[in-house]
Amino acid sequence: MKNKKEVNKVALVKCRNYNQKLVDKAVQKCFELLDFDKEIKRGKRVLIKPNIVGSFKTNQQAITTNPAVIEAVCKILKKKNCRIFIGDSSFTLTSSALKDSGIEKIAKKYGKAVVFDEEKLIKINDKKAKILKTFRIPKVIKQADIVINMPKLKTHILTKYTGAIKNLLGCIPGGMKQRLHKKAPNEKSFSNLLVDIYQNIKPEINIMDSVLGMDGKGPTSGKPKKAGYIIASKSSVSLDVVASKLMGYKPKKILVIREAVKRKLGNYKFKLVGEKKIPNLKFKKPKVFKGVPGILLREKPIVVDEYKCVRCGLCAKKCPMHAIKLDPYPVIDKNKCIRCFCCIEVCPHHALSLREKKKEKINYN
Ligand code: SF4
Ligand code: SF4
C-alpha cells in the first residue's frame, strides 16, 4: 500500500495519432521517464488488461484500447523475453470482442489471448471491502508477475469518468459484472465497489490510450474526441487524477478517485513528467444523476432509437434486473430498472441512450 504522502510520477507524452512509429516512440518515452524497465525483469509473466468493453462496429477506435498502443508495449516486453498474456472480460461475447477490436491479432503475434470468462477462478475475500467482501477473479491475473493496466480515456454516464481503476471491472468474468450493479446501483456505491476491486488487484504499471478518447455519453455511445497523448504511471490513482484533469474534471469530483484517496491507496498529488502542464481539453461531460431511480426514470429516461435498433435482444439478455422485454423493440420496466446503464453500454448499435430531446421515443411500460 502506498504511503499517503508518497508522490507518484505520471508521464504525459504527446502522440498525434495511431501511426505505429509514433505510438512506439511515445510508449518508449513513458517507459524511460518512469523507469518501467526496472519493474520488468527478463522472462517475467506479464498480463496486459486492455479496455475491450464489447464488440462494436462503429466508434470502435474511440471505445477500446487501440491495438497500436498494446503492440508498442508488447514490443518492449518481447525484447525482455517476457511471456505475454492479453486478457479481458467484456460485456458481450469476449472472444468476439477480442477479435473485433484487433487485439486478438496482437495477442497471438506476441503471446496469448485470454478470455477471462473461460478461465479458472479464484476466490478473493476482503474484510476491508465496503461492498464486495467476496468475489472471484481469473487465476491467471494472480499468476502474473506484472499486470499492465491499459485503459482508455472516456467519460462514463454512471461514474463520470472511466480510467485505470474502472478498467479493472473487466477482471470480473462474464455475467457476474452485470450482477454487481444490483449490489451497487448508484454512482457512490458503484465507485466504492470499483475501489474494492482495485485494492485487491493493483497493477504494477498503467498505460492509458489517450490518443483518441470519448466524451458525452461514454463509455460506448459518446463522440470520439481527439486528445493526442499517452499517459502512464505506476499508480492507477495518480493516472486517473491526471487523465480526469485533462478532460476538464476536478479529480475530487470523481467519486472513484475520492474513495481510493480516502482509503489511502493513492493521493491527489503527483509529479508530472514529459509535458510540463496538463491542458484542459474540455471534454463534454455526461450528466450523472443521484437519487431515487423511479424519479430519475421520469426525468431522464432511457430511450430506444428504432432506426438503429436491430432487435437483437442483447440489452435484455445483459440487464441484471431482467427489466427489458422486446415488444418488438426494447421496453423497460421502470419498477425493476436500477439505472446501471449496462443496456446502453452493451448495445452494439448505440440504439439506447438517455433522453436528450423530447421527440425521442420512450419505451417504458
Ligand atoms: S437496443 Fe441494441 S442491444 Fe437492444 S435489441 Fe436493440 S440493437 Fe439489440
Ligand atoms: S434496463 Fe438498462 S439501466 Fe435498467 S437495470 Fe436494465 S440494464 Fe440497467
CATH code at position 302? 3.30.70.20
pLDDT for the residue numbered 72: 98
On whether residue 287 sits in a domain, the answer given is no
For a ligand 2 pocket test, name from 314, 329, 340 the mutation site with the most ligand atoms within 8 angstroms of its C-beta.
Answer: 340
Q: Rounded to two decimals, what is the model's pTM?
A: 0.87
On whether residue 46 sits in a domain, the answer given is yes
On whether residue 286 sits in a domain, the answer given is no
- Ligand 2 atom with the shortest distance to the CA of 340: 8
On whether residue 288 sits in a domain, the answer given is no
CA pair distance 157, 6, nearest whole angstrom: 31
CA pair distance 266, 270, nearest whole angstrom: 10
pLDDT tens for 299-358 read 568 899 999 999 999 999 989 889 999 999 999 998 888 878 889 888 989 999 877 655
pLDDT over 90 at 231, yes or no: yes
155 plus 303 within the same structural domain: no
Q: What average pLDDT score do residues 149-172 get?
A: 96
Nearest CA to ligand 2 atom 6: 319
Which ligand is in closest contact with the Cα of 319? 2
For a ligand 2 pocket test, name from 319, 346, 347, 355 the mutation site with the most ligand atoms within 8 angstroms of its C-beta.
Answer: 319
Q: What average pLDDT score do residues 213-218 get?
A: 93
- Ligand 1 atom with the shortest distance to the CA of 350: 2
Q: What average pLDDT score do residues 205-214 get?
A: 98
pLDDT for the residue numbered 329: 96
* CA dihedral over 90, 93, 99, 101, signed as positive or negative: negative
On average, the pLDDT of the chain sits at: 91
Q: Which residue would you say has higher pLDDT here, 343 or 292?
A: 343
Q: How many CB atoms lie within 10 A of CB 21?
A: 9
CA pair distance 296, 280, nearest whole angstrom: 30
Q: What average pLDDT score do residues 181-188 get?
A: 85
Which ligand is in closest contact with the Cα of 320? 2
pLDDT tens for 68-110 read 999 999 999 999 999 999 999 998 889 999 999 999 999 999 9
Q: What average pLDDT score do residues 191-212 get?
A: 98
Ligand 1, CB within 6 Å, residue ranges? 304, 309-315, 330, 347, 349, 351-352
260 plus 299 within the same structural domain: no
% of the chain surpassing 70 pLDDT = 92
Q: What average pLDDT score do residues 267-273 get?
A: 97
pLDDT over 70 at 128, yes or no: yes
Can you spell out the DSSP letters for 78-134? HHTT-EEEEEE--SS-HHHHHHHTTHHHHHHHHEEEEEGGGS-EEEEE-TT-SS-SE
Nearest CA to ligand 1 atom 4: 315
Side chain identity at residue 57, one-letter code: K
Does the CB atom of residue 321 touch ligand 2 within 6 A? yes
On whether residue 176 sits in a domain, the answer given is yes
CA pair distance 353, 347, nearest whole angstrom: 10
CA 141 distance to own-chain centroid: 17
CA pair distance 43, 53, nearest whole angstrom: 30
223 plus 346 within the same structural domain: no
pLDDT for the residue numbered 285: 94
Examine the fold and report which residue of 274, 305, 335 is the final residue of a domain before the chain moves on: 274
pLDDT for the residue numbered 300: 65
- Lowest-confidence pick of 174-188, 247-261, 308-322: 174-188
On whether residue 120 sits in a domain, the answer given is yes
Does the CB atom of residue 205 touch ligand 2 within 6 A? no
Return the closest-CA partner of residue 245 out of 198, 282, 273. Answer: 282
On whether residue 26 sits in a domain, the answer given is yes
Do residues 45 and 145 lie in contact, with contact meaning Cβ atoms separated by under 8 Å? yes
Domain of 46 in residue numbering reads as 8-274
pLDDT tens for 3-24 read 455 689 999 999 999 999 999 9
Does the CB atom of residue 341 touch ligand 2 within 6 A? yes
Ligand 1 centroid, distance to 150 Cα (angstroms): 28
Ligand 2 centroid, distance to 345 Cα (angstroms): 10
pLDDT for the residue numbered 14: 98
Which ligand is in closest contact with the Cα of 318? 2
